[in-house]
Amino acid sequence: MKALIIDTSSAKSFIALIEKEEVTAYRALSMGKDLSKDLFPFIMELLASTGTNIQEIACIAAGIGPGSYTGTRSGVSAAKALSFGCKIPFISFCSLLLFHPEKSQKFAITVESKAQDFFVLTAEKMQEKSWHYKLKQNVSQADLPTILSEFSHIVKNPSDDPQVLPNYTHLASFLYSRYLLSDSGVHNNLEIIYLHTTPHSSMEQEFIFDC
């Protein structure tokens, strides 16, 4: 199984090719006004560099944030266009999964929103390869310490921290698990998670995957 991954939600935006659970090629992307225009040529160059035809791609995955409005939309729009035009299954994922710590068994990742509250992704290893993730949106500054109190490993604003490295390998494993579960399709009403959210909106998602 070959898959194309696109994430343009943050300063650590990228495109990558994976085969099963291995990353075979990737390219870091610079956020800017030309990203939406340059994204398709960059994808074609990445495919050509590995001798991969678009018809060999079994699925296309896109990070849906939390991230910037313009940046995140660029990647998701490109992924959906390729998915629809080439009839390739589509998978979405929380962009914070890119920063899954390498050796931690239990951790939390926090990102401050433009509304000065927080997105919090928590994760706990349940079995050898099974992870339980929970994403909370619009967590207030007052509630944040309570949520984080049970986690000793906390990653803050990973896209802005040069010491936090993307974990492409774990993301590849996660997406491969979703592909095997046939958790894909073309999402016309896909909900993107923006850093600029309304104070009254709330969201909590839980998902368990073997990866």
| pLDDT digits 0-9 by tens, 137-174 | 889 999 999 999 999 999 999 999 999 999 999 999 88
On whether the CB atoms of residues 115 and 137 are closer than 8 A, the answer is no
Q: Global pTM?
A: 0.89
The per-residue pLDDT for 208 is 55
The closest alpha carbon to 89, from 64, 62, 55, 58, belongs to 58
* Domains and their CATH numbers in the chain: 2-97+164-194 (3.30.420.40), 100-160 (3.30.420)
On whether the CB atoms of residues 117 and 144 are closer than 8 A, the answer is no
